[in-house]
A and B are shown apart, each in its own frame.
Chain A
Amino acid sequence: MSEATPSEAATLLSDPSGRTGPAAPGAAIRRVIAVLWQWKGFLAAGAFLLLLAMVLATPHLLTAYDPLEGDALAGLRAPNATHPFGTDRLGRDVLARTLYGARYSLSIGFGATAISVGFGVLLGIAGGQKSRLLDETICRLFDVISSFPGVLMALLVVTFLGQGMLNVAIAVGVAGIPKFGRVVRAQTQLARNADYVTQAYIYGRSRAAVFFHHLLPNVLLAIPVIATVYVGTTILAVSSLSFLGLGPQPPTPEWGVMLAESRDVLRIAWWPGVFPGAALTLTVIAFTVIGNALQRRFERRG
Chain B
Amino acid sequence: MWRRILSRLSTSLMVAWGSVTFAFLALHTLPGRIEDILAGDLDYPGLREAIATEWGLNRSPAEQYLDFLLRIASGDFGTSYVLRQPVGGVLGSQVMPTVQLALAAGLLALVLAVLAASATAGRSRSARALAALLELLFASTPVFWLGILLLMAFSFSLRWFPVSGAQGWQALVLPSVALALPTAGLLAQVLRDSMEKTLEQPFVVTIRSRGLGEWPLRLRHVLRHAALPAVTLGGWLIGGLLGGAVITEKVFGRPGLGTVTLNAVLSHDVPVVLAVVLMAAFIHVAASTLLDILYVLVDPRLKAQ
Contacts and interface: CB of A to CB of B under 8 A. Distances in A.
Interface of A: 1-10, 12-13, 19, 140-141, 143-153, 155-156, 158-160, 162, 232, 236, 239-240, 243-246, 256, 259, 263, 266-267, 273, 277, 280-281, 284-285, 288-289
Contacts of A277: 141-142, 145
Interface in B120-145: 125, 128-129, 132-133, 135-137, 139-145
B90 interface: no
Contacts of A146: 239
Contacts of B135: 6, 8-9
B2 interface: no
Given A12-B132, A232-B140, A239-B142, A156 B274 contact: yes
Contacts of A150: 239-240, 243
Given A141-B18, A244-B262, A285 B242 contact: no
Q: Is the contact region of chain B dominated by helix, strand, or loop, or is it mixed?
A: helix
B266 A285 contact: no
**Range, interface on chain B:** 35 or more
B246 A259 contact: no
A112 B157 CA distance: 39
A140 B189 contact: no
A127 B143 CA distance: 35
Interface stretch (B199-207, B208-216, B280-288): B280-288
Nearest to A280: B142
A8 B247 contact: no
Contacts of B30: 160
Interface in B249-271: 250, 261-262, 264-266, 268-270
A144 B240 contact: no
Interface of B: 11, 14-16, 18-19, 21-23, 26, 30, 37, 125, 128-129, 132-133, 135-137, 139-145, 148, 152, 156, 185-187, 189-190, 192-193, 229, 232-233, 235-236, 238-240, 242-244, 246-247, 250, 261-262, 264-266, 268-270, 273-274, 276-277, 280-281, 284-285
A244 B249 CA distance: 11
A9 B133 contact: yes
8 contacts: A2-B233, A5-B186, A6-B140, A8-B189, A144-B19, A145-B22, A148-B281, A155-B276
A143 B239 CA distance: 13
A266 B18 contact: no
B40 to A, nearest CB: 9
A244 B140 CA distance: 18
Contacts of A13: 129, 132-133, 136
Pairs A-B, 8 closest by C-beta atoms: A151-B243, A9-B132, A149-B239, A284-B140, A144-B18, A149-B243, A9-B136, A4-B186
